[in-house]
Amino acid sequence: MKKTFIVANWKSNKISLEAKNWLGEISSLINQASNLSNKEIIVCPSFIHLCSMKTFIEEKKLPIKLGAQNISPFDEGAYTGEVSASLLKEFADYVIIGHSERRSNFNEDDEILFKKAELAKKYGLISIFCVQGIETTIPLNIAMIAYEPVNAIGTGNPDTPENAEQVAKYIKENSKAQFVLYGGSVTSGNVSKFTQMPSIDGVLVGGASLDAQEFYKIIQNA
């Protein structure tokens, strides 16, 4: 059976108490769930929550993986303020690279993003490499792509599942990507329309992932 990836991208939200409450809520909901074996749940909080969330997830044996929203384009060393892939690896399995908010607000270009992807690979992190359309360049050997059209992000106007399917299919045919996720205004109400498409393997969820009840519904409906 096809595995479905459900990724929460919290962006720059949630203080530690909110992160703790969200995890507490989701853990009681998940404990009541019957079958999650075909779902990979990945939460990408701010770096500062990764350590405490990892401890909580391990203690409660939750079926949740952690990811980061970014990594340094440099390896470990004298790079003040950066979190390198080697440091991140202690706490996370995944890392989002090339989100459009990083491309536009932090001027991240292909050269920087390719370095990040290379370092993620070097340290065994799985990149969730974001593309904004079929024209976005994809580094070699990226296994997981998230297709996120810019005008669908945070607007309440998702792409059509049919168009997202065409893009996902094109990406799979023209890269080494094994999995393609869709992101942009995903909710519990529309998630199944995307995940039922043959070339779409899951979703990357921003705003709707901040509420534990809504995120749980997304997991169930995906």
Q: Which of 40, 101, 108, 148 is catalytic?
A: 148
Which CB sits closer to ligand PGA, 143 or 210?
Answer: 210
Q: Per the residue annotation, which of 49, 99, 101, 108 is the catalytic one?
A: 99
Contact 144, 113 (CB under 8 A): no
Q: Three-state secondary structure along 57-92?
A: HHHCCCCEEEEECCCCCCCCCCCCCCCCHHHHCCCC
Q: Which residue is nearest to ligand PGA (CB)?
A: 206
Shortest reach from residue 26's CB to ligand PGA, in Å: 17
Q: How far is the CB of 156 from ligand PGA (least distance, A)?
A: 8
Q: Hey, what are 139's tokens?
A: 């580094």
Q: Tell me, yes or no, if 108 is annotated catalytic.
A: no
Centroid of chain to Cα 190: 18
132 Ramachandran zone, left/alpha/beta (phi>0; psi -120 to 50)? alpha
* Distance separating alpha carbons of residues 185 and 152, to the nearest angstrom: 6
User: Is 148 labeled as catalytic in the residue annotation?
Assistant: yes
Query: Which CB atom, from 132 or from 199, has the smaller least distance to ligand PGA?
Result: 132
Burial label for 78, CB within 10 Å (0-12, 13-18, 19+), is exposed
Q: Give the nearer residue to ligand PGA in terms of CB position, either 60 or 65.
A: 65
Shortest distance, CB of residue 11 to ligand PGA, whole angstroms? 7
| Burial bucket for residue 139 (CB in 10 Å: 0-12, 13-18, 19+) | buried
Q: Minimum distance between the CB of residue 37 and ligand PGA, rounded to whole angstroms?
A: 25
- Which residue, 101 or 165, has its beta carbon nearer to ligand PGA? 101
Task: Note the residues at the interface with ligand PGA (CB under 6 A).
Answer: 9, 148, 153-154, 183-186, 204-208
Any idea which residues carry the catalytic annotation? 99, 148
